[in-house]
Chain A
Amino acid sequence: MHTRIIGLGNSILTDDGVGIYAAREIRRCLTEIGRLDIDIVESEVAGFELMELMAGWKHVILVDSIQFEGLEPGTVVRIEPDDLHTSLRLRSVHDIDLPTALELGRRIGLEMPAKLTIFGIRAQDALTLGESLTEAAERGLNEAVDLVLKEIRDSRFEIQD
């Protein structure tokens, strides 16, 4: 199994759902160009469950909302797995965090991704109940989708016949 894209978030908390909506838009774009080999998942999980979602895939791309200080809402950043201390979801208070989940998977012999790419979209509002994005998050979603599609095109993992 090669590439899985996981859109993370809570779709009833306004911008916290941006990862979910991004995953849907990416699915639409990839379907249009016939790239049905990429697996796309929408999820609200973290920790152990996220570890299980990532296991078995060579390349995993995560898309999620972030709360980094000093960034304008809508800004998209590429995050390294070790640099997750300011992300609420990827360091969920209900579970183990992402670096722990990755390392745990490796230690117990799961095939964890050789390449993990994380795109974070700075949320403007991730606390209000709502099922749509702010304008800022909408802009960030569009940029993140472009970056993910470019990441897939540039990926060194080719389809094996």
Chain B
Amino acid sequence: MYKVDPPPAAKKLRELYNSAAFVHSHIAHFYALAAPDFVLGPDSDPAKRNILGIVEKVGIPIAGEVLKHRAIAQDIQIMVGGRSTHPVWTLPGGVSKGITEEQRKDIVEKAKSCVEFAKFSLKLFEDIVLANKAYLDIILSDTFEMNSYWIGTVDEKNRVNFYHGDHRVVDQNGKEVFRYKDHEYLDYISERVEKYTYLKFPFLKKIGWKGFVDGPESGVYMATPLSRLNAADGMATPLAQAEYEKMYKTLGGKPVKKLLATHWARLVELLYAAERLLELAQDPEITSTNIRTLPTATPEEGVGIVEAMRGILTHHYQTDKNGLVTKANLIVGTTNNNAPISMSIKRAAQKLIQPGKEIGQGLLNMVEMAFRLYDPCFSCATHSLPGEMPLIIEVINPDGEIVHREGR
């Protein structure tokens, strides 16, 4: 928008902040919002199927490590950007402050601890989830499956990059079909409006909107941790790359369409974010004082795209000559997934609700799992004490009559 390129140190600081944000958010999501289903079981007592049940199951020391590393990541964000939420340190052309050598060393030690914790988390997932045939069957079942396009940001070697790169779309076979830069997004993404909601439904413009269906003829795409890994050829850090390879080997190759694998992908991303945090903190340029290029051009219009924890995040602004916003379009992480979310819930309900099968708490929870995997916002609303969220399932016969209603 200001036609200015920040200095390398400013970009590295911004990426460092974003990496720390990924660490704290992915830890919170997995342990508080996703893990209860797997550690305690999808049919377990709703009153225990939450983070307190996790504490009871894994023990206080591990729970303490969860909270510790979440807090460590936020400490890094505060150190770098002033606040862990709504930072006030980015400016056109760079950032307002750098970090000292003392802070850098502190971040290095914190990042090392986060790497170890990410490795531990993947091991925990392997031991508790993958080693449990019942859970693995749930992950591999077609109850939670989507045959959509997948989108993620990649670097010049097509490796996952949360901060900068081309935005790559692959098809149902994992083949690249589109690739665009920030300012080209409107040539590739369009948004459909439905009268019953303010939230729009993004789709691939060149494929077109064909309704709430998946498949190569439908422009519905997904933007999640699993999408990012599906859309890339690998990870840019060694430990995460090894876990990426293990995941795809276990699940039968790319792309993975089994949506519960999103939780596994999230942990691979956690490891990548922690490794990247360490790389950046060990980069000598990270303490440079050259952290801003003053803009001189009159602002006009700009597009910025990064990977947010829940999916690709697009901001598009037009401004007047004073930089005051006159028009804005935001496609946030979860918005990308609006259509897939509805489709996933419907598919799970159709697969799980069968004639003669009792509709109870366990089944309701499994329907919830279909959308909880997309976004922490939805996840936490369903795992707050005592494990309730408003959920109603109505079974309707061909005449449109409600024959069964279950809810809480």
Contact = CB atoms under 8 A, between A and B. Distances in A.
Interface in A43-101: 44-45, 47-49, 52, 91-97, 99-100
B55 A94 contact: no
B71 interface: yes
A100 B385 contact: yes
Contacts of B383: 96
A16 B188 CA distance: 37
Interface stretch (B60-68, B260-268, B270-278): B60-68
A45 B85 contact: yes
Contacts of B55: 104, 107-108
Contacts of B52: 100, 103-104, 107
A34 interface: no
A45 B380 CA distance: 15
B28 interface: yes
Contact of A108 (B50, B67, B384): B67
Interface in A79-134: 91-97, 99-100, 103-104, 107-109
Contact of B384 (A49, A52, A100): A100
Contact of A103 (B28, B86, B385): B385
B377 interface: yes
B74 A108 contact: no
Given A91-B384, A100-B52, A103-B52, A44 B85 contact: yes
B289 to A, nearest CB: 30
Nearest to B376: A94
Nearest to B61: A108
A14 B360 CA distance: 42
Nearest to A52: B71
A102 B44 CA distance: 23
Interface residues of A, number: 20
Nearest to B25: A94
Interface string B391-404: 00000000000000
A91 B385 CA distance: 10
A103 B32 CA distance: 13
Nearest to A82: B385
B207 interface: no
Interface in B54-96: 55-56, 60, 63-64, 67, 70-71, 74, 84-86
Given A96-B32, A104-B55, A48 B67 contact: yes
B70 A48 contact: yes
A96 B66 CA distance: 14
Contacts of B64: 108-109
B175 to A, nearest CB: 35
B380 A48 contact: no
A47 B67 CA distance: 12
Contact of A48 (B28, B60, B86, B378): B28
Nearest to A94: B377
Contacts of A103: 52, 385
Nearest to B32: A96
B73 to A, nearest CB: 11
A91 to B, nearest CB: 7
A49 B75 CA distance: 11
A93 B385 contact: no
A104 B378 CA distance: 20
B381 interface: yes
Nearest to B382: A93
Contacts of A45: 85
Contacts of A52: 71
A107 B85 CA distance: 26
Nearest to A107: B55
B256 interface: no
Interface in B367-383: 376-378, 380-381, 383
Nearest to B33: A96
A94 B385 contact: no
A100 B319 CA distance: 43
Given A49-B74, A103-B52, A107-B60, A96 B384 contact: yes
A35 to B, nearest CB: 27
A92 B380 contact: yes
A128 to B, nearest CB: 15
A51 B247 CA distance: 34
A97 B386 CA distance: 11
Contact of B51 (A92, A93, A94, A100): A100
10 contacts: A44-B86, A93-B380, A96-B32, A99-B385, A100-B50, A100-B51, A100-B385, A104-B51, A104-B63, A107-B60
Interface of A: 44-45, 47-49, 52, 91-97, 99-100, 103-104, 107-109
Question: What 8 pairs between A and B have smallest CB-CB spacing?
Answer: A97-B384, A93-B377, A100-B385, A93-B381, A108-B63, A107-B55, A99-B385, A108-B64
Given A97-B385, A99-B385, 16 more contacts: A47-B380, A48-B28, A48-B32, A49-B85, A52-B71, A93-B377, A94-B376, A94-B380, A95-B380, A96-B51, A96-B380, A99-B384, A100-B51, A108-B63, A108-B67, A109-B60
